[in-house]
Amino acid sequence: MQRWRFVFSGHCDPYTNMAVDEAILITHGQRKTLPTLRLYGWLPPAFSLGYFQRAEEVLDLDRCKKEGILFVRRITGGEAIFHQHELTYSLSCFKEEIGAFGSVKEGFERICAFLLTAYKKLGLDPHFAKDIGLPSLGKGALCFASYEEYDIIVKGKKLGGNAQKRKRDLIFQHGSIPLRLEIDAFLSFLRQRPVGLKERICSLEEVLGRKITLAELAQVIKVSFEETFGVELIEQPLTLEEEALAAKLREEKYSTKIWNLR
């Protein structure tokens, strides 16, 4: 049975979260570590922007500064996400380590299968948008406001969002799983507010009809990942090299205006 590393980081600030993810990706790309599944939360709450988005076009930067709302640019594409009451996953691996040999779209279908397994374990009936005939909605500034073929739909609404980056045979994918949504809390920071958002997206607490903790969901995700891919997750901390690299990336990249406002 193939072994993967499991890292549960708890809550981190946005710059640290992105720096740790990239440090793991770089180090695994050099084949120094096991393929890794990382789970984490965000504290304080913050926006992440897709690599190709321009912060000043998406966010009311003056309001963000006044209210102390942080934002960070990702290495993946896609649209903005407000990370608050959620669990985020990230995985770093080579194609052969997860069996994702096809296109990026086929990769989403392969990799996101563990999320379907997890939601079924929670008693839900999840589907990819394409499998229930939902047409893709046009992209906007906010990730949750649109959906594509391999977005996951529960009770007619989109649950979370996922993004992927590839470099040759190396795959990085991360995704947001909202435990609870407070939509009005972040819409005021957007330049343009999407219409009908509450009718198109959902959180786990909404569809479950109960509260769910970060720790409970993390355990379900861990077991579902092992079952879906036939791997064993070994809980291990970051290496000293990864910790040093993450600190460097946080200081010199993810917390800088040059990166976040470019």
Contact criterion met (CB below 8 Å) for 145 and 79: yes
- pLDDT tens digits, one per residue of 167-220: 989 999 999 999 999 888 888 899 987 777 888 899 999 999 999 999 999 999
Q: Which residues contact 251 (CB under 8 A, 6 or more apart)?
A: none
Taking the C-alpha atoms of residue 128 and residue 217, their distance in angstroms, rounded to an integer, is 20
How many CA atoms within 13 Å lie on the side-chain side of 124?
Answer: 25
Report whether pLDDT(139) > 70: no
Taking the C-alpha atoms of residue 182 and residue 178, their distance in angstroms, rounded to an integer, is 10
Structure-block tokens of residue 22:
């990239």
Q: Could you tell me the pLDDT band of residue 136, with boundaries at 50, 70 and 90?
A: low
Report whether pLDDT(114) > 90: yes
Taking the C-alpha atoms of residue 37 and residue 89, their distance in angstroms, rounded to an integer, is 7
What's the mean pLDDT in 56-66? 96
Q: Could you tell me the pLDDT band of residue 239, with boundaries at 50, 70 and 90?
A: very high
DSSP-derived secondary structure for 126-166: -EEGGGGTPPPPPP-SBGGG---TT-EEETTEEE-EEEEEE
Q: Which residues are annotated as catalytic?
A: 143
Helix axes 14-29, 240-249, angle to 10 degrees: 130
Weakest mean pLDDT among 16-25, 40-49, 89-98, 197-206: 197-206
Taking the C-alpha atoms of residue 163 and residue 180, their distance in angstroms, rounded to an integer, is 20
Taking the C-alpha atoms of residue 106 and residue 152, their distance in angstroms, rounded to an integer, is 14
Per-residue confidence (pLDDT) for residue 143, from 0 to 100: 61
Taking the C-alpha atoms of residue 85 and residue 87, their distance in angstroms, rounded to an integer, is 7
Q: Of the candidates 35, 7, 44, which has an alpha carbon nearest to the alpha carbon of residue 93?
A: 35
What's the mean pLDDT in 133-152? 69
Report whether pLDDT(138) > 80: no
Helix axes 113-121, 104-111, angle to 10 degrees: 20
What's the mean pLDDT in 222-241? 98
Helix axes 113-121, 214-229, angle to 10 degrees: 120
* Separation of first and last alpha carbons in the chain: 44
2-260 architecture in CATH? 2-Layer Sandwich (3.30)
**pTM here?**
0.94
How many CA atoms within 13 Å lie on the side-chain side of 257?
Answer: 3
Domain ranges of the chain: 2-260
